[in-house]
Structure 1
Amino acid sequence: MNPRTDTPATQAPSDLDRWFRRYWPRPAARRRIVLFPHGGGSASFYRGLAKRLLPAAEPLIAQYPGREDRLEERHITVMAELADRACEALLPALDREFVFFGHSMGAAVAHEVALRLEHRHGVAPALLCLSGRPAPRHHKPGSKHLDDEALWDELGRLGATPSLLLANPQVRRVVLPTLRADYRLVERYRPGTSPMLSCPVAACLGDQDPEVTPQEAEAWSEVSRGGFTFRLFAGDHFFFRGQEDDLVGWLLTTTDREAA
C-alpha cells in the first residue's frame, strides 16, 4: 500500500514563535509588551513579571538561542546579529501598539531592536523601557567572558541564582556556556553613535545596583527626542523580584501617559 500523500506535514514554528514566548496568548489585546531578558537569562525567568501585565496587555518574552527549549541552537555572540534576527522575527507582532522592556543586557538588545524597527521599517514602540543598564555613552567593555571562575562569581554577586544552585556542578555545566556567550556579546559590544529615536524612553534601576549608577541610567535620555522618564526602585540589580506589581504599575502608567 502506498503511503498517504494528503496528510498535512507538521507545521514548523514561525520565527516569531521561535524567538518569543507567548505563555498567555491574548490575540485581541490592544497592546503587546515585549520583554528582553538579561545576560544568561531566559524567557521563563520573566514569567512572573509577564503574568502581571494581564489583562492590560499581551506579554511576549524573547527567548535567545542556546537556552531552555532552544538549547540545541548555537549561541549568538555578536549584538548586531542578535538584534537583526530578533527584529525580523518580531515584525508580525507589531500590528498594534507595542512596548519594549529590557533588563541589563536585554536593555541594550531592546534599544538596538528599536533602532532597527524605526530606521529600517518605520515603526516605533509606544515606550522603550530600559532597566538595570548604563546608557550607551557609559557602556563598559570587559573580559569576564574569558574566565569561567570570574563568570560564575559574577552570577553569585548579582544575585540572579540561589546559592544552592550555584553549588550544583550539573547546573554549572548547563548554565556556564550561555553565560559565557552572553557576556562575550555584551562585553565586546560597541554601541557607537546611533541615530536618535522618536519614541518616549523610560529608565529604571535598583538603588543598590552594583553595576549601574543613577547618572549612568539617566543618560538614556540622550537616545531619543521623544521624552524621558526615570524611576529609582529600592533593591539590587534584580530589584523587581518581590516588587513586580510596583514595576508593572509604573510601566503601564508611564505607557498610558506617553500614549495619551
Structure 2
Amino acid sequence: MTEYGREPTALLCVPFAGAGASFFHPWRATAAGRWRVVPVELPGRERRILETPYRNVVEAAKNSVDDIVADLGEGTPTVLFGHSLGAVLAYELVHLLSSREVPVERLVVSGSPGPWTQRERRATGLPDDEFLARVEEFAGFRHEALDHPEMRELILPVLQADCEMHENYVPSTDDRVSVPICSIRGSSDGLVDAEQARQWRHATTGAFSYAEIPGDHMYLVDRAREVLDLIEAESARGR
C-alpha cells in the first residue's frame, strides 16, 4: 500500500521482440514504492513456451487483454510501457483497456516510430542466419543465448514471429487515444530517428512529450533506473 492506503499504480510492461516477461522482473525492485510492475506474458516464451506465438499485433492485443485485466484488477490506475514491438502492442492495448474499466493514465513508448509508419528496413522472410544478422544490425545488440544451439532453436521461431508482426503492423483504428503519450528514444538509436520517435504526437489528443536517454536502440537493457525515473517525472508533471 502507498500513502493513504491506496494501491500503487500498475506499470504494465509490454516486451520487445524476442523478449519475455522476465526481462522486466528486475524492474520490480527499482520500481518498489512507485508502481506495481506487471509484465505482459506472451505465448511462445518462458511459461508459455509451448504455445504458438502471435504474428499479428492487433490479434495479440485482443487475445491478451482479458488476462491483462485479470492481472491488473479492474479499476487499477495503469501506466503502459512498451519498447519497439512492445510500443505498438501497448498502443493497441490502450484502445482496448479504455473500455474495460481500467483507467489508463499514460502511455510510454520507447524505440518506436509512430504507429502509422511502415517499417522500411525488414528482416521477415530472410534465411535464419541472415535474419539474425539483420536483427542484430537493427538493434545493435545480440543476445548471448543465440550463440547456444539449443537456446537458439527455442528463441529463433519466437523472434521471427515477433519481427513479422512488428514489420507488418497496421493500426486497428485511425482514432487517436486520449491519454498522454511520452516517447523515449536512445540518443544514438540507428533504427529510429528523433523525428520518427516524435511522430507519436499525432497518436493522442492529450499531452505529448519526448525524451532521450543515452544509448542505442536497446538502451533500456542497462538503463532501467533512468527509464523509471523518467516515467515518474512525466507522471508527476501530469498530476
Q: Settle same-fold status: TM greater than 0.5.
A: yes
Give yes or no for contact 1:141–1:188 (8 Å, CA) kept in 2. Answer: no
Q: In the alignment, is the contact (CA less than 8 A) between 1:36 and 1:103 conserved in 2?
A: yes
The answer to whether the 8 A contact 2:114-2:199 is kept is yes
C-alpha contact (below 8 Å) 2:61/2:89 kept by paired residues: yes
Find the residue that maps to 1:137 and give its secondary structure. Answer: coil
* Letter matched to residue 178 of structure 2: S
1:72 aligns with 2:53: no
Q: Report what 1:129 is aligned to.
A: 108
Correspondent of 1:61 among 36, 39, 42:
39
Alpha-carbon distance, 1:136 to partner: 1.6
Distance 1:104 1:152 in 2: 17
- Matching residue within 114, 122, 142 for 1:161: 142
1:51 maps to which residue? 29
The equivalent of 1:96 in structure 2 is 76
Unaligned runs of 5+ in 1: 1-26
Report the 3-state secondary structure (helix = DSSP H, G, I; strand = E; otherwise coil) of the residue aligned with 2:116.
helix
* Runs of 4 or more consecutive aligned structure 1 residues displaced over 6 Å after TM superposition: none
**Structure 2 residue 93 is the aligned partner of structure 1 residue 110:** no
Q: What one-letter code is carried by the residue in structure 2 that aligns with 1:178?
A: V
Counterpart residue identity of residue 60, structure 1: V
CA contact (8 A) 1:49 1:244 kept: yes
The Cα shift of 1:152 comes to 1.1
1:114 Cα shift?
0.4
SS of residue paired to 2:136? helix
Gaps of 5+ in 2: none
Q: For residue 176 of structure 1, what is the aligned residue in structure 2?
A: 156
Task: Give the C-alpha shift of residue 159 in structure 1.
Answer: 4.0
Q: Deviations over 1:206-248 (max 9, x none)?
A: 0111210110011101111110111011101111233221211
CA distance in 1 between counterparts of 2:157 and 2:169 reads 18
* Distance in 1 (alpha carbons) for counterparts of 2:22 and 2:206: 32
The count of aligned residue pairs is 231
- Determine which of 199, 224, 235 is the counterpart of 1:255: 235
* Residue in structure 2 matching 1:206, options 178, 186, 204: 186
TM-score normalised by structure 2 residue count:
0.89
Q: Distance in 1 between matches of 2:97 and 2:81?
A: 15
Residue 39 of structure 1 corresponds to which residue in structure 2?
A: 17
Q: Tell me, yes or no, if the aligned pair for 1:32 and 1:97 is still in contact at 8 Å.
A: yes
- Structure 2 match to 1:138: 117
Question: Contact 1:203/1:230 (CA < 8 Å) preserved in 2?
Answer: yes
Q: Does 1:223 align with 2:209?
A: no
Aligned partner (choices 192, 197, 210) of residue 177 of structure 2: 197
CA distance in 2, matches of 1:219, 1:124: 24
What is the percent sequence identity of the aligned residues?
24
Pick which of 203-212 and 145-154 moved more: 145-154
Check whether the contact 1:124–1:198 (CA below 8 A) recurs between aligned residues: no
Alpha-carbon distance in structure 2 between the residues aligned to 1:76 and 1:241: 24
Of stretches 28-37 and 42-51 in structure 1, the one that deviates more from structure 2 is 42-51
1:67 partner letter: R
The alignment yields a C-alpha RMSD, in angstroms, of 2.0
Amino acid at match of 2:149: P
Q: 2:226 maps to which residue? A: 246
SS at match of 1:69: helix
Opposite residue 58 of structure 1, the aligned amino acid is R
Letter in 2 for 1:161: R
Gap change, CA 1:55 and 1:211, over 3 Å in 2: same
